Amino acid sequence: MTSMKYWQAAADALRQEMRRDPSIIVLGEDVAGGAGREAEGIVDSWGGPFGITRGLIKEFGAARVRDTPISEAGFTGLAAGLAADGYRPWVDIMFTELLPLAWEQLTNKIARSQYLTAGQLRMPVTIKTFGDCYSPVCHYPGLICVAPSDPYSAKGLMTAALRSDDPVVVFDNLRLLRTQGEVPEEPYAFPLGQARVLTPGSALTLLGIGPSTSLCLAAAADLEASGTSVEVVDLLTLSPWDVDGVTESVRKTGRLLVVDYDHPECGLGATICARITESAWDALQAPPTFLTPPPVPTMGMDANPAMAAMYLPDAGAVVAAAAKLCQGDDHDLFRWSAAPL
């Protein structure tokens, strides 16, 4: 075990898998940085927006670590072609705000080709992006979506994505980038499609998605201190998500609160609650519910910390919602952390 930051764990997975598998090709804007100027002594001048791909070009060369033009649709389609011919592209789409540019290729080519061609066109593509807007991607059958929540899961899920014969979209998060944790040095892969129980409990299941998992752990500590036994479950794979695992937890606790940083409408939190209402119906003590930001068209409010603080649920909001659920006071259960709109 080594202590490392989240971004270092993700980078570690990519480097180890590239050593193991020569078919992995890294594509994206400035994944090396300063491309095409080797003759002037400029190599590896950036390493991606947060340094995750730094150093790869020196070890693996420009053929495998390829700076692309700013053409998200184009290089996502390029990845589809590489995958169809036996490569395993790893594609950096910096932020979820850029994903819509690649939407057509991601959905019509990468998500659908394997199924529509009855397995003739394989799409072992890893798309890596930063952001909370994962629900629209989870909508598409054929794509696997994952969201790590700490350095250990960052490495395990990135390795799993790179080894998967199916397309995987990895939702990293800037809030997690510099978090520190213990990570095994040797390669390991998390099982795709499986949630993990972080703390066992009996009265409430708090389900975290990516960065909201640390919020759930913080809230659980508060709730435990006041005598409520909380089970924190980390979803990890957002689609297809672990219905059996979450059901098992909720059948034990009788209550579910999903903490979801994405927009609320047609979102993952709502989907999970609907499914669990059916699968755990006879064991439920309260309606499954979810806590999200209010439905305002932000891009995470990173431009204004004061608004971001109002926008995102915090541990206090999770504790308050959890307390209401556990007291059976669910009629005016208030999903959003901000004041009513």
Partner 1 sequence: MSAGDQVMLDLYRSLCRSREFETALIRYATKDAKPVGHPYLGQEAVAAGVCTALRPDDRIVGTHRAHGYAVAKGCDLERLALELYGSAEGTCRGRAGEMYMAQTDVGYFGGTQIVGGNVAMAAGLALAAQLGQLDRVAVSFVGDGAVNQGIVDEALNMAAIWSLPLILVVDNNGYAQTTSVKYATAGRIADRWAPYGIASVSVDGQVAAEVYEVAQAARARAAGGQGPTVIEARTYRYEGHYYGDRHRRYRPQQEVEQWLARDPVELHRRAALEAGLDEAMLDQVRADAAAQSEAAFERARSGRAVAPRDLLEGVFVEPLLRGRGEDS
Residues marked active site are found at: 72, 139
Among the candidate windows 157-165, 281-289, 292-300, 322-330, which touches partner 1 by CB under 8 A? 157-165
Among the candidate windows 37-45, 192-200, 253-261, 288-296, which touches partner 1 by CB under 8 A? 192-200
Among the candidate windows 114-122, 199-207, 227-235, 277-285, which touches partner 1 by CB under 8 A? 114-122
Interface residue with partner 1 among 69, 227, 297, 305 (CB under 8 A) is: 69
Nearer to partner 1, 118 or 341 (CB): 118
| Binding string, residues 203-242; x marks residues near partner 1 by CB under 8 A | ----------------------------------x--x-x
Asked if 9 contacts 154 with a C-beta cutoff of 8 angstroms, the reply is yes
Residue 103 CB burial class (10 angstroms; 0-12, 13-18, ≥19): middle
Residues 23-42 that bind partner 1 (CB under 8 A): 25
Residue 51 in the binding site for partner 1 (CB under 8 A) = no
Least separation in angstroms between CB 311 and partner 1: 32
Residue 191 in the binding site for partner 1 (CB under 8 A) = yes
Least separation in angstroms between CB 16 and partner 1: 11
Nearer to partner 1, 34 or 193 (CB): 193
Least separation in angstroms between CB 274 and partner 1: 19
Residues 302-341 that bind partner 1 (CB under 8 A): none
Interface residue with partner 1 among 2, 20, 81, 295 (CB under 8 A) is: 81
State how far the Cα of 101 lies from the Cα of 218, in Å rounded to an integer: 36
Q: Which helix (H) or strand (E) holds 172?
A: strand 168-172
Nearer to partner 1, 86 or 340 (CB): 86
Distance (Å) of CA 25 to CA 15, 45, 266: 11, 19, 34
State how far the Cα of 225 lies from the Cα of 42, in Å rounded to an integer: 55
Least separation in angstroms between CB 244 and partner 1: 5
Interface residue with partner 1 among 43, 73, 301, 308 (CB under 8 A) is: 73
Asked if 157 contacts 170 with a C-beta cutoff of 8 angstroms, the reply is yes
Torsion angle (degrees, nearest 10) of CA 138, 291, 322, 150: 50
Interface residue with partner 1 among 21, 104, 182, 329 (CB under 8 A) is: 104
Q: What are phi and psi of 174, to 5 degrees?
A: -60, -30
Residue type, 216: C
State how far the Cα of 143 lies from the Cα of 17, in Å rounded to an integer: 21
Least separation in angstroms between CB 75 and partner 1: 7
State how far the Cα of 275 lies from the Cα of 4, in Å rounded to an integer: 37
Residues 125-154 that bind partner 1 (CB under 8 A): 141-142, 144
Distance (Å) of CA 133 to CA 103, 122, 236, 257, 258: 13, 26, 15, 19, 16
Nearer to partner 1, 71 or 327 (CB): 71
Coil, helix or strand at residue 242: coil
Residue 194 in the binding site for partner 1 (CB under 8 A) = yes
Look up tokens 């003590």; give the residue.
285
Number of residues that bind partner 1 (CB under 8 A): 59
Look up tokens 């499954």; give the residue.
288
User: What number of other Cβ atoms are within 10 A of residue 47's Cβ?
Assistant: 19
DSSP string covering 191-228: PTT--EEEE--SSEEEEE-TTHHHHHHHHHHHHHHTT-
Residue 1 in the binding site for partner 1 (CB under 8 A) = no
Residue type, 129: T
Binding site for partner 1 (CB under 8 A): 25, 63, 68-69, 71, 73-87, 89, 104-105, 108-109, 112-122, 124, 141-142, 144, 160, 163-166, 186-194, 237, 240, 242, 244-245
